[in-house]
Structure 1
Amino acid sequence: MGCDGGTIPKRHELVKGPKKIEKVDKDAELVAQWNYCTLSQEILRRPIVACELGRLYNKDAVIEFLLDKSAEKALGKAASHIKSIKNVTELRLSDNPAWEGDKGNTKGDKHDDLQRARFICPVVGLEMNGRHRFCFLRCCGCVFSERALKEIKAEVCHTCGAAFQEDDVIVLNGTKEDVEVLKTRMEERRLRAKLEKKTKKPKAAESVSKSDVVEAPGPSKVTAEKPEETGLDFREKKTNSAPRSAAINESSSGKARKPPCGAMKRSIAESEESEAYKSLFTTHSSAKRSKEESAHWVTHTSYCF
């Protein structure tokens, strides 16, 4: 039991006042934003990507999020604006030579400097720890400090030389005002892309319909003759192939072609060809054999004598 035996309670012990607002440690907040993935809350490992709002993710976590089609997604609000892998940009980061990581802290008794960052600005040399504003270009993915962008004004990337516009500059882990500006830019960009797709579709349909209308009633296209086929050999082949094609068409139609008027059937025996050529046909005298020389009834024209 309390309050007996001469104890005097104070007012704050008896009366409960308003709760104090818990303040977030700024150092811990900066470490969480710049060293951990926004989606999976794991340490950032290459390949590292950034969305159009300037948040940092592991590429593997983004791919798993897009493949997961379940209704309840963990931390889905942080990446609800990411609809495809095209909505994120892979970053080109410059390593900090002074950063050792966990190499010297094997026993756990070493002080970890939270201000030391893994990456730096390749132009000015500032560390990417949240104390300085950093940005990346959406066209190439190069990352550098905002101070370098202001001091060295150019329309070309400082690291790779790619041309960019003001719309391509995205601030990493910016303030609420920066996020609102980036959100409006993102929505305008996506609306513009949808309108371009809609305008391209009717144009493609019109070009297809015009080509059909032009090609349907007109004559068949004549293919250009190759230089090899313009010689005498090609003309001879053409003349030889013409009667063959006509004969094939007649045989397919089932109508026998009548010989022209005045044409006489000539036998090969009466022709002026050589004897070697005539011996190939059955009408030649060498092909006429006696019954003894003819083939056995079991084998058909075996000519085994």
Structure 2
Amino acid sequence: MGCDGGTIPKRHELVKGPKKIEKVDKNAELVARWYYCTLSQEKLKKPIVSCELGRLYNKDAVIEFLLDKSPDKPHAESAGHIKSIKNIIELNLSDNPAWEGDKGNTKGDTYDEQRAQFICPVVGLEMNGKHRFCVLRQCGCVFSERALKEIKTDVCHKCGGAFQAEDIILLNGDKDEVEELRKKMEEKRLKAKMEKKSKKPKAVESAVSNGGTTEEAPGPSKTLNGNKSNPKASSVSSAESKTSGKATTSSSSASKRPHLNDKSEAYKSIFTSHSSAKRTKDQSSNWVTHTAYYF
């Protein structure tokens, strides 16, 4: 069979069987989900944010993704549901006092066996993927699921803010839990859209009603002479008042003027229209002077 050199082939070398399913190392998967950004695949560092599906990101990576949403970017599908900065929650994490940083593993032959960088502030469990952690949507505080179950309350253990059961988001859940969170996210966004659409016609109606009231509001011309209901009558009355005012002013000015009938004859003789100023043809001259009189 072409086995030169006396080699004996084995069955698995000659017969092609079904491919073996590659098993993913659980430790490597936990490290990738809890220690590295889902979008940029870089180590998580503050500020750290979470989406509505419970995935962890570096805030800088999310901002860069929102500024440039090109599909060619690697791992862009993991953040496709993030439409704006409002869709992420900045995490309020509690530092682990026993964390040694990157000095815990210098050889590089294991997967970050050092202590986690963050812990639960209530129970003290490390946030390394071995324990389930949750984030509150309202304040962003992070707790272990055990702490929320053992100490049931409607107030945040860290900041004292009020929250409801709907505000709890599980971090790095399995596929079924992620699908449930996705349904809640879509329902919430649809509800927000419906509320915006319902608010728009109400705002238009209020604007129209306010405009109508301002047009019907009586002005100074409408309140004149007690005519508030009929604007035409008020305008007519205002016009009449103006004309009457003009007549009174003209009569007053005419009364102030001197009448010729009231004056003496000596005053009348000053003017050329007086009979004493008129001359006969014999008295008038044939030449024209600078004070010529024409009769």
**Would you say same fold, with TM above 0.5?**
yes
Shift of the alpha carbon at 1:179?
Answer: 0.4
Identity %: 69
2:184 aligns to what? 185
Shift of the alpha carbon at 1:73?
Answer: 3.3
Shift of the alpha carbon at 1:111?
Answer: 6.9
2:21 aligns to what? 21
1:120–1:126 CA contact under 8 A, matched in 2: yes
Aligned pair 1:214/2:213, yes or no? yes
2:167 aligns to what? 168
Q: How does 1:25-64 map to 2 (within 5 A)?
A: 25-64=25-64
Paired with 1:196 and 1:112, the residues of 2 have a C-alpha distance of: 48
1:140 aligns to what? 139
1:50–1:91 CA contact under 8 A, matched in 2: yes
**Helix, strand or coil for the counterpart of 2:57?**
strand
1:84 aligns to what? 84
Which 5+ residue runs of structure 2 have no aligned equivalent?
Answer: 221-248, 259-295
Residue type at the aligned position of 1:56 = L
Paired with 1:130 and 1:208, the residues of 2 have a C-alpha distance of: 54
Paired with 2:109 and 2:179, the residues of 1 have a C-alpha distance of: 41
1:47–1:91 CA contact under 8 A, matched in 2: yes
1:31–1:114 CA contact under 8 A, matched in 2: no
2:124 aligns to what? 125
Change (3 A) 1:73 1:27: same
Paired with 1:69 and 1:13, the residues of 2 have a C-alpha distance of: 47
2:100–2:114 CA contact under 8 A, matched in 1: no
Change (3 A) 1:104 1:172: closer
Change (3 A) 1:98 1:4: same
Q: How does 1:197-276 map to 2 (within 5 A)?
A: 197-220=196-219, 260-263=253-256
Aligned pair 1:157/2:156, yes or no? yes
Change (3 A) 1:23 1:158: same
Shift of the alpha carbon at 1:64?
Answer: 0.6
Paired with 1:179 and 1:89, the residues of 2 have a C-alpha distance of: 16
Change (3 A) 1:264 1:100: farther
Change (3 A) 1:56 1:71: closer
Range with bigger deviation, 210-219 or 149-158: 210-219
Paired with 1:200 and 1:146, the residues of 2 have a C-alpha distance of: 38
Residue-by-residue CA offset, 1:11-48 (whole Å, 9 max, x unaligned): 12222222111111000000000011001111111110
Residue-by-residue CA offset, 1:237-285 (whole Å, 9 max, x unaligned): xxxxxxxxxxxxxxxxxxxx867343479xxxxxxxxxxxxxxxxxxxx
Paired with 2:213 and 2:190, the residues of 1 have a C-alpha distance of: 36
Shift of the alpha carbon at 1:214?
Answer: 1.5
Paired with 1:109 and 1:169, the residues of 2 have a C-alpha distance of: 36
User: What is the root-mean-square deviation of aligned Cα atoms in Å?
Assistant: 2.5
Residue correspondences, number: 230
1:45–1:58 CA contact under 8 A, matched in 2: yes
Change (3 A) 1:27 1:110: closer
Shift of the alpha carbon at 1:215?
Answer: 1.5
Paired with 1:201 and 1:38, the residues of 2 have a C-alpha distance of: 38
Change (3 A) 1:184 1:35: same
Range with bigger deviation, 64-73 or 35-44: 64-73
1:96–1:117 CA contact under 8 A, matched in 2: yes
Paired with 2:153 and 2:8, the residues of 1 have a C-alpha distance of: 73
Change (3 A) 1:68 1:7: closer
Shift of the alpha carbon at 1:220?
Answer: 2.7
**Helix, strand or coil for the counterpart of 2:62?**
helix
- TM score, norm. by length of structure 2: 0.72
**Helix, strand or coil for the counterpart of 1:262?**
helix
- TM score, norm. by length of structure 1: 0.70
